[in-house]
Every structure is written in C-alpha cells, then in structure tokens.
Amino acid sequence: MVRMLEHQGVQHIFGLCGDTTLPFYDAMLRLDHKITHVLTRDERCATYMADGYSRVTGRVGVAEGPSGGGATYILPGLIEASESSYAVLGITTDISVGSYGKYPLTEVDQDALMRPLTKWNTVIKQAAHIPRMVRTAFRAMTTGRAGSAHLGLPYDIQYDPVDPSDIWADAKTQSYPAYPQAPEPGAAQAAVDAILSARNPLIVCGGGIVIANAMDELDRLATRLDIPVATSISGQGSLAETHANCLGVVGSNGGTDQTWEMMEAADLVIFMGARAGSTTTARWEAPKPGTRVVHFDVDPMVIGANYQTEVGVVGDLRLSLAQVNAVLDQRDQGAETFGGAAAIADIKRRKFEVFNQYAASTDSPIRPERVIDAMMKVLPADATILSDPGTSCPYFSAYYQLQRPGRHFITNRAHGALGYSMSAALGAWFGRPTSKVVAMMGDGSFGFTVGELETVCRCRAPITYIVFSNSSFGWIKASQYADKDARYYNVDFNRTDQAAVAAAYGVKSWRVENPEDLERVLKEAIEHDGPTLIDVVCQALEESNAPVRRWMG
C-alpha cells in the first residue's frame, strides 16, 4: 500500500493511528519513501485536511484511519469532497477478513457504510488485489467529475505478500482532471449561436471552472464579448473579482440585491460548472421559467436537471471553452459585445456604498463588515482564505475582492458541516506552503475541532485563525429571527475566551473587542512566524445586515 501510494505521487497522508493500522504504520516507519504522514487528533479532521490539500494542489488528498469508530468519523470529509467534486481518498484499515462475522471488536460493514457516500469504494479481500484497487481508486477519483474514494484494508492481508511487478501506477491519475474529454462535435458552435442571439446574457460559474483550470479561457471569452460573469460561492476564483467582467457572487448566500439584478434581467443564463442548485438560484427564483439556458458541465447528469436547457455542452470545461473561443476566432467575433463591464461597475458601486458604510462603523460588538474590510487591507494578493459556512461566509463571499483567479477561497458548500476550516486550513498550508493561509469560523465552529490546534502547533504552520464570536449558532438564530418571529430555542451558549483556549495550545492569540484595534492586530497576526488566532467579539448575525436573501426580504 505504501509503495502504491508513492507510485501514485502521494506526498502527504493525514491520519490517526489504531489497532488495525499497526502493519501499515510499521511499513511507513521502516520503508524509505518520500511521503509525509501528519498525525491528526480526529479522523474527520484528517479528511478535511486532505480536502483542503486537494483543492489547492489539484492532486488527490489522502486521509487514513482505523476500523470501527475511525471509519465512521472519516465519513463527513469523504461525502463533502465527493459532492464538491474534489479527489480525496479515505483509507480505513479493518478487522481481519478471517474474523468477519465472528463479532470481533470494531466490526462494521465498511463496504456498505461507504458505498452511498463515495464515487468509488471497496474493501480489499486479498493482498494481491491491493495494486489494482489503488489504481482503480485513483482512476475513479480523477476522471470525469472528480470525487472521493474509499479503500478498506483488513488487518490480516496487510501481512500477505504482493507481486512486486504489479506495483506500478498511471502517472496521469496523480492529478485531476485526468483524461479530460472534449464535447461532442457541434456543441460549442450551438452554444456560441445561442449566446450571440441573446440581448442580456449572463455567465454563472460554479466550482467546475477552477477545478478544470479553465480560468484563462473564461477570461478570454468574457473579455472579448464584454459579457458579465457571476459566480456561486464555490465558483469564486473563476475570474479575479477585480476583473471588469466579474459581477461577484449571486444567490441566497453571499449574493446581494444589487448582484441579483443581473440574474433577474438576464434573457440567457449560461451555467458553467455549476449545478444550478438551491443556493445559486435562490431556490430557483431565477432564472425564471422561460429564460433561455445554456449549460456547460463535465457531468451529463446535471444538464436539464433543474432547467429546460437549450444547449448542453458536456465535457471538460477548459476544453469546452477553448472550443467556444476557437469558434469565435473562426468567425472573427469580437465586435458584438454586451456591455457587461459598464453595468457591473454601476452594480459594484452601489453594492460597496452599502458595505463601506458598515465597514467604517465603530460600533461594538464589531460588525462583520469591518473584519472583511480589515482583511482586504492587510492580506497579500496570493493569500489562501478558508471559511466555515457560518457567520463569516456570506460576508466574505459578498464583499471580499479576490485579486487573482484560481482557488484562493475555500469553503465546504456541499454539506456545510461546522468545524471544517480549522482542519482544512492545515491541509491547504501543506499543499501551498508559500501562501499565507487564513481560516475564518464562528465560535460554534471553533468548538467542533479545537483539538486540531495542537496539530497545527506541532506542524509549526503559520496559519492565522479569525473567530467571529457571538455566543450562538448564529446562522440558526438568524433563521429563527427571520422565519420564526424571533422565537429563539436552544441556539445560545456561554461566551468562551477563544484566545485563551488557543494560547493554552501554544497559539499566539488576541481577543479584540474594540473595532479600532482590529486592523493593527490582524497585521501583527499575519506577520507572526507561527500559528495565530484572533477572537473577534462581533455583532450577532440576527442583528446584522447579512447578505442572505431570505433574511433581507
């Protein structure tokens, strides 16, 4: 197993030891290899680290854990990666094949457990199967729509011999998308015809553009036609948000009334690497019935799933957009433009008039807009920023202006589990150590995975954590405010000094209550050569002007 992972180009494994893992760990100790194993404090966090690593590298992230409880804990990260289209491999060691059905300690049907939550899954029954099962897992994860895979490795077969001549790997499946496929002949031409026949077309990008590394082709298309480009939260980075044609995030989370104007006005919506799900469309509020739709995606299952589609272009996004640009080249197309940059400039001016008013507020508790504004002033252009899906996410997605295309913002949008960003940030740092990594979370999220601060300190990772502290599960409390006439039930908890907790782990930390201290402290934290944490006592979400459509109606 170690040699196969090495052949597949694996450089880091995140995981946690257990009884059934003894032979695997002994092999990692005794063999000469170049894989770094990072000991975590929780299997769930190991998969979040592998997820963050995969998102910034474009390579398979690998997490491992033992049988029983370890196998169940590893599930959240695998389903998040699979539904978000990132390649993460979960390896769980298992009880011996020879003891199946005899009620041994930690027995669980791993095959059945993992099957519905992964793109590909097996429990290996013979040592001779290990090489080809590893190759199959990597091929499944990296081709087509990327996703997670699971390999179960029983204890007894870890001692059995394997034919050395079978230990080889396909170098193309070390990264993804592997073996990208171009769309069928004529699809790009049909898409171009539809786009050029529209009056107010709008491109809406999901995460697929960045995963396919199609940013340059998108830039070329958007610039030559002066067509506006909106994104989902996962699609941030499809264009730099300082790009003249980048509208920003639309939808029910991170979208604003101003950006939504273009969704409502569009007579043709072009989804690219987006599934047209509930968040991006504000629960299918727009595009409205009758709006024309063109859909680009690597997965044919999403075409026409939510909207009647005029043209579906199925294939790798980079290859698909290259074909679109080639068609426009052949037609010498470039004179017909849609005035996107001018319309976007007006929308952004109005959006940031609202933001700047709140960002300058000296109110205490501190407004979340002030935190985002300080981050924009202090963070370098190549920073890698992560967020849990709570308080910080909509503010960041609505207002932070990412200066570069690519995956510079990471959040777990598929299932939105709390506790993600603390661990995923460490994986992102291992994958992109030259970038300043910053992770945001609420104090509710902080409590989920705080133990991994020990791992961060042990790894001496210079990550900066920003905790938005409001002593509640803020998203749910704001929903109770908006949907249940402020009938609050079981959403508040005691205020904790997160800075003191972090300091006990060895993290240099600050507690900020005065908004005028925020920028200075953030600058000091960013410049510190080691882990840092800022506990910001911030405004409660239900009292704020959060960019969440159903709360603003």
pLDDT band of residue 390 (cuts 50, 70, 90) is confident
Contact between 498 and 523 (Cβ < 8 Å): no
Whole-structure pTM value? 0.96
- Taking 80 as the threshold, does the pLDDT of residue 85 lie above it? yes
* Rounded mean pLDDT, 70-88: 96
Contact between 247 and 269 (Cβ < 8 Å): no
Distance CA 1, CA 140 (A): 17
Which residue, among 382, 403, 394, 522, has the nearest Cα to 466 in the 3D structure?
522
Number of neighbouring beta carbons within 10 Å of residue 144:
20
* Rounded mean pLDDT, 149-160: 97
Helix, strand, coil percentages for the chain (3-state, nearest 5): 45, 20, 40
- Taking 60 as the threshold, does the pLDDT of residue 335 lie above it? no
**Peptide bond between residue 287 and the one before it cis (omega within 30 degrees of 0):** yes
**DSSP string for 304-332:** TSSS--SEEEES-HHHHHHHHHHHHHHTT
pLDDT of residue 494: 94
Which residue, among 404, 405, 399, has the nearest Cα to 371 in the 3D structure?
399
Domains 2-174 and 360-552 share a fold: yes
Distance CA 289, CA 276 (A): 14
* Rounded mean pLDDT, 227-234: 97
Distance CA 157, CA 130 (A): 9
pLDDT of residue 474: 85
Contact between 175 and 143 (Cβ < 8 Å): no
Mean confidence (pLDDT) of the chain:
95
Q: What percentage of the chain has pLDDT greater than the value 70? A: 99
Contacts of 490 (CB under 8 A, 6+ apart): none
Fold of 360-552: Rossmann fold (3.40.50)
* Rounded mean pLDDT, 165-169: 98
- Taking 70 as the threshold, does the pLDDT of residue 243 lie above it? yes
pLDDT in tens, 524-543: 999 999 999 999 999 987 88
Contact between 282 and 255 (Cβ < 8 Å): yes
pLDDT of residue 334: 60
pLDDT of residue 1: 97
pLDDT of residue 371: 97
Domain 2-174, classified CATH 1.10.760.10, yes or no: no
The strand pairing partners of 299, in sequence order, are none
**DSSP string for 122-180:** EE--SGGGHHHHHHHHHHHHHBSS---EEEEEETGGGGS---GGG----GGGGBSSBS-
Q: How many angstroms separate the first and last alpha carbons of the chain?
A: 55
Contact between 438 and 273 (Cβ < 8 Å): no
Q: In which order are the strands placed within the sheet that holds 292-297?
A: 246-249, 229-231, 201-205, 268-272, 292-297, 311-314
* Rounded mean pLDDT, 37-66: 98
pLDDT in tens, 253-295: 999 999 999 999 999 999 999 999 999 999 999 999 999 999 9
Q: Which of 242-246, 377-381, 391-395, 519-523 has the lowest mean pLDDT?
A: 391-395
Q: Where are the domains of the chain?
A: 2-174, 187-343, 360-552
pLDDT of residue 143: 98
Number of neighbouring beta carbons within 10 Å of residue 29:
9
Contacts of 106 (CB under 8 A, 6+ apart): 19, 20, 66, 67, 68, 69, 95
Q: 340-359 vs 368-378: helix axis angle to the nearest 10?
A: 110
Distance CA 460, CA 453 (A): 10
Q: In which order are the strands placed within the sheet that holds 437-442?
A: 409-411, 384-387, 437-442, 464-469, 532-537, 508-512
Q: Which tokens hold the place of 69?
A: 């409880």
- Taking 90 as the threshold, does the pLDDT of residue 422 lie above it? yes
Contact between 429 and 329 (Cβ < 8 Å): no
Residue 248, classed as helix, strand or coil, is strand
User: Would you tell me which CATH number, out of the four given (3.40.50.1220, 1.10.940.10, 3.30.565.10, 3.30.300.130), belongs to the domain 187-343?
Assistant: 3.40.50.1220
pLDDT of residue 333: 64
